[in-house]
Structure 1
Amino acid sequence: MKPSVFITRKLPEEIVAPLKEKFTVRMWDSEDVAVTHAVLREEITQVDALWTMLSDTIDRDMLESATNLKVISNLAVGYNNIDTEAANEMGIIVTNTPDVLTETTADLAFGLLLATARRFNTAEKELRQGGWLSWTPMGFTGMDVHGTTVGIIGMGRIGEAVARRAKGFNMDVLYHNRSRKPETEEEYGVAFAELDDLLQRADHVVILAPFTEETKGMIGGRELGLMKKTATLISVSRGCIVDEVALYDALKNKKIFGAGLDVFETEPVPVRHPLLTLPNVTAVPHIGSASVKTRLTMMKLNVDAITDVLEGREPANRVV
């Protein structure tokens, strides 16, 4: 009997075809609607491989019923949606899709920085709604990006890519990281700073840290209070790193100039989310890696990982 694979979202046929040539493949029938918990729970009890999305929660309880499961391949760099400790205990391999989305996500982060600082969303909304009646001396004015200071929280591959883009805008780059990176400092001309110092000095703060117990809620009311009133906060890693209640207060009361958000504590975002009511928020729906080329490349990594495990080889990009 062929090993079996379940894919939790409808994906392009040309991507899935190589798996179908070798394995029994079942796939959720919607691209836009997430697989139901009931279907996922049933499938995980039967299959040898599970191809998951970041929106799928694979917890210990679910893994305990996965008697045949050998590999979970997650379509993302992050994998906090999977209980990796439980998977490791049960001998289930977990893989992700790093590296290939670095530049695409850095493009999004820097684009969101520009859009937030220069108030693109407000200006476009007024234009579309007929609110642009005349040129005015201070109409739609925002904050400069060129020649300012950017503070990057989390200097991994994406952080380094954002730093390269910042240098093209003649920006000074500060960074805060779990560990100092002298080679990065030398190569890109960036300077290490403790978190409080970075928040006080930066004109634009970009959050790129991974989500861990240490980073959960690391940007709260106290931290936002350290920032300049003219500063922007750009969040493109994981929503739970920023306390959204504190961020709403800081934006509503103009303690900071604006925020650019690609990620939220709860995704998809609930209807009438408070942050989305504020004019100084620029928001997009978790599209950091969303270029056609990058997403297809990520999927190819998932296909390779599943194939390698089911054919007895060690997969690339193994996280446990």
Structure 2
Amino acid sequence: MQQPRWVDAAAVRRIVSPDRARRLIRCELADGLDPASDPARRVAGVGDGQLLVMPATKGRSAGVKVVSVAPGNPDRGLERIQALYVLLDADTLTPSVLIDGTAVTSLRTPAVSAVAMDVLAPDEVGSAVIFGSGPQALGHAEALLAIRHTSSVTVVGRRGDAARATAQRISGLATTHRLSTRGITVDDPQVEAAVREAQVVVTATSAATPVLDDDWVADGACVVAIGSHEPHRRELGSGLLGRSLVVVEDIGTAHREAGDVILAAAQGALDWADVHTLADLVLGRVERASDRPNVFKSVGMAWQDLVIAEHLARP
């Protein structure tokens, strides 16, 4: 077998910008890609963590991402989520390219969120709140700034030093205007006011229970929840889901993995018949609500990785 070409994290960022990733994801949906065709994610428990296998096929390409989730890694100075992506020829199933899968995940997750935010968020986003201080917090800030002229970002974290460090990194992302940032802890009394004033709220945490109160989010605001892919975990409460326009990547996948939606429906706060898909947004079948919050719940799907990997593999 010929040695597969290696694409490292630096090359991933150099070849595909965050906004280019957004446009690639959006284009695939606009061209008719059906997320429901994705095979279900396979999950195996390993100690306190998980091993995930995410295969996908499209056209002349196939690929699989192998992901490890180790909750204790940050205390060891390692990333909580690590991954490797293998791109194959769909006819021969010969591995052709190996890619830093962690970098792919860090790129495509905010890109998918940005596709939703571009429809669900108001045209004017003066302030945003991001729960979480890891790589996805930074990536979602960058994705938001590529589509909206945001002037204030508040980072909310369990540890004040981590939240402040992420806020400082976000402050350097704005190149066309002055961006005010701050980092505060989850128990800071300023959190509620920040959320109530925000036009965009992102939850990118490892929490198993809601990280904000149901009534904090203003009508017309956009909430993006990306922290969990497990049916028993949630970052958003049933009350918030029940009074919101709710969008997911795919209905079948959400039934298996989107705990925020699953639990809200089980508690009678939300009807699955009222849940929309990301393709509905892209194809104009549903529009942003101004009289209630807009929630996009993402669990991450294999087709998204393949879209990015295909572009990275081009000569």
Which interval holds the TM-score relative to the shorter structure? 0.3 to 0.5
Larger radius of gyration: 1
Which protein is richer in strand relative to its size?
Answer: 2
TM-score by length of 2: 0.48
State the TM-score, normalized to the length of structure 1: 0.47
